[in-house]
Amino acid sequence: MKRPFKEFSAGNHSTATTFAALVLVALVPAVCVLWFMILAMRNERLAVQDRLTDVYLTHVSSLQRQLTAFWQGRQTALSSARNDSPAELFAAVVRSNLADSVVVYDRSGKVAYSALGSIETPAEEKGDWALARELEFQKTNYLAAAEAYGRVAQANQDAHAKARARQAQAGCLLKAGRKEEALARLTELAGDPGLRNAISAQSTLIVPNAQLLILKLVAGAEAGRADFSARRQQALDDLVKRLNDYTDADFPSSQRRFLMGEVTALAPQAAIFPTRAAEELAAEYLEHNPALPTEPRLQRAPIANVWRLPSADRTIVALFREDGLKKELATLIDSLALPDVRVTVLSPGEPFASSTPVAPQEAGEFLPGWRLGLSFKESDFFATLSARQTRFYLWTGLLVVLIIAMVALLVARYVAAQMRLARLKNELVSTVSHELKTPLASIRALVDTLAAGRFRDEQQLQEYLQLIAKENLRLCHLIENFLTFSRMDRGKQRFRFEALAPAAVVAAAVDALKKRLASAHCNFEVRVEPDLPLIRGDADALSTVLINLLDNACKYTGDEKRIGVRAFAEGRQVCFEVADNGIGLDRRDARKIFDRFYQVDQSLTRQRGGCGLGLSIVKFIVKAHAGTVEVQSEPGQGSTFRVKIPLAKSQPVPETNQPGEHL
């Protein structure tokens, strides 16, 4: 029957209860901490959201104010741009990028630009005019018609009539196949400063049209001719300059637009008209005959994706393309936005997909229907922000749980130690009382027998006395072990270290047990190497070690005992070896026998005396000597215990291990 300690079922039950209570004590606060932590983390996220929402709403209202201020500024800038003519105003606004285009009204609310130029009544056609027209319509003699127009031009003092006659003359020359002459007439016409503002019957300026014709005529093979190309260049330069010149109040905007398109097609490199897109936009806008807007705000124009804004004095309507407007607003807002936030400008009805809890906000009174959508540059900004705080809670919580776990562990270990101590004490009391009872009972019976004179002869008397002495020795040995254990347990065991001869230690132990070892059924052998170096140790304590080992060797061997003690040097140690041919130990027991009160087979120990303390005392003493103890054993094959004790200081290391000498 293998049993390390006596079973205490009630004790086991209380141990389980104690540990269950401990687990509960540790678990409940840990769970509470975790619960609070989760709550705190959730609240933190909401709190962060609320805080940030407040911050961003404040930011949005600041943006709204700034946008309003921006548009007010834009309106004022539009009004103050009102200087000379409507055409100049148009050009100034467009060139300064105040708007994509602009329509200028006069005080009475009529469109002043871009609109048709001033229409003059054409001069009355009479005399040669009629003849020339007649010849031209007959289509038979264009040359004669051209001559007739030439005469009209010569005779007429009116600039408009003169220019028209020249234009018609050039036309007839062309029809007659006289291209070169036609070109000469057109160049004359274009170069005459007096005819610069002459207007055709269709209310267009004649000279720019003549210049366009020159460009068209010299577009082909003739362009290679030096005189032609010079004329063409001259016409092109003049025309481009004039088209970009808005001080020329008489230039009808529709003609300007038309010519810009034509010239761009003919000479895309030279024709750069920064206001062309604005002209087109204004014209498109005016095609819808829009009423002058009353609201001083940005509103949709009747053209798709175009917005309009009247100036403060309502004499100018600025036009904005939606794309450009959004870009401009985005740039403005970007320069004002907070670092973590992206503000998207949303035109009316534009959807906004964002996980942000802040809904898009109005963009201000100047931009009715427009909204500002807030999103965060980091994908989940709230999560990131609250994650920082959450991480703090998490670590704090985990730390608290860890501390609780550690404290619980320490308490558990302390409780376990206390319980083990209590159990050891119970063991001790029961073992001591039992172990003392047996020899005392034997001695008492023997003494009673002797006292009653119940012995046959002197020899039997001696036998009884020897039995009494043996029981007494066992008692002394037991008590000695108890006392040593008690001192060990209380930390009161003191050692007197000195340089000792290993042979003396062996001799003392053998002497203490000589009677048992010298019995007839015991083959006992001692081998101690000669000239062993001195060891550092307490003579009594080391003898106790060997006595305990030898005592066990006697106890745990059968009837035919073979026991040996050896002492030999091993490096800077001396090894004491106690070997027997006893019952041996399996590997598991060999590991545990040095524990207090551990007994492999308690019934056997009871028979032979012992309380499971001998080897724990051996281990304690050897450890105090900075030595080691080990056992090598096989069940049924006997055991060998080896105790190694360090040499005393200044002892030379012996060179070789000689075979031992018999004591």
Instruction: Give me the residues that bind ligand ADP (CB under 6 A), please.
Output: 548, 552-553, 555-556, 580, 582-585, 593, 598-601, 605, 610-616, 639
Which one, 71 or 482, has the nearer CB to ligand ADP? 482
647: which DSSP letter?
A: B
* Least gap, CB of 541 to ligand ADP (angstroms): 16
Which one, 114 or 581, has the nearer CB to ligand ADP? 581
- Helices 539-555 and 614-624 cross at an angle (nearest 10°) of 150
Which one, 311 or 639, has the nearer CB to ligand ADP? 639
Which one, 341 or 509, has the nearer CB to ligand ADP? 509
| Cis peptide bond upstream of 114, omega within 30 | yes
Give the CA count within 13 Å in the CB-facing half-sphere of 184. Answer: 6
* Least gap, CB of 603 to ligand ADP (angstroms): 10
Where does residue 362 rank: exposed (0-12), middle (13-18), buried (19+ CB within 10 A)?
middle
* Least gap, CB of 560 to ligand ADP (angstroms): 15
Token pair 């980091």 is at which residue?
Answer: 378
Cβ partners under 8 Å of residue 309, min gap 6: 71, 74, 75, 78, 99, 297, 298, 299, 317, 318, 320, 366
Which one, 114 or 633, has the nearer CB to ligand ADP? 633
**In sequence order, what DSSP letters do the residues of 128-139 get, joined into one string?**
HHHHHHHHHHHT
Residue 434 CB: number of other CB atoms within 10 A? 11
* Least gap, CB of 499 to ligand ADP (angstroms): 28
Which one, 403 or 479, has the nearer CB to ligand ADP? 479
**Among candidates 478, 483, 509, which has minimal Cα distance to 611?**
478
* Least gap, CB of 447 to ligand ADP (angstroms): 26
Which one, 207 or 547, has the nearer CB to ligand ADP? 547
**In sequence order, what DSSP letters do the residues of 356-392 get, joined into one string?**
-SSPPEE--TTSTT-EEEEEESSTTHHHHHHHHHHHH
Which one, 203 or 632, has the nearer CB to ligand ADP? 632
Give the H/E segment covering residue 629. Answer: strand 628-634
* Least gap, CB of 456 to ligand ADP (angstroms): 35
* Least gap, CB of 28 to ligand ADP (angstroms): 43
Contact 376, 64 (CB under 8 A): no
* Least gap, CB of 479 to ligand ADP (angstroms): 13
Which one, 373 or 582, has the nearer CB to ligand ADP? 582
* Least gap, CB of 604 to ligand ADP (angstroms): 7
For the chain, how big is the Rg over CA atoms in Å? 62
